[in-house]
Amino acid sequence: MTTKTPKKPAAKATKTAPPRETKIGKVIALLKRKQGATLDQIVKATGWQPHTARAAMTGLKKKGYTIERKAFDGVSHYLITASARV
């Protein structure tokens, strides 16, 4: 007859893991820069198609971010001007 020994609770880690870097996090970081980001920069940083990058910005707007489009040297740049409330 075998007896089961109770398992010891796992020791809690003293260090917390750094937050995982996500593609939408990269997009937010690019849009928060002073000059913002072009659609091409977002596509290059994420590996997304242009229509997916535009849809991501629409999703950010729905989450409460204010995104403005400004032209610098004839090229559209997108900038986050107000962050969503957490």
Over range 61-74, report the average pLDDT.
95
Indicate the pTM of the whole model. 0.75
Q: According to CATH, what is the number of the domain 23-82?
A: 1.10.10.10
Residue-range domain boundaries for the chain: 23-82
pLDDT attached to residue 19:
84
What is the band of 63 on the pLDDT scale with cuts at 50, 70, 90?
Answer: very high
Each residue's pLDDT tens digit, 19-49: 889 999 999 999 999 999 999 999 999 999 9
Task: Provide the token pair at 77.
Answer: 């740049």
Distance of alpha carbon 26 from alpha carbon 5, whole angstroms: 47
Q: Which long-range contacts (CB under 8 A, 24 or more apart) does 66-72 make?
A: 67/31, 70/36, 72/35
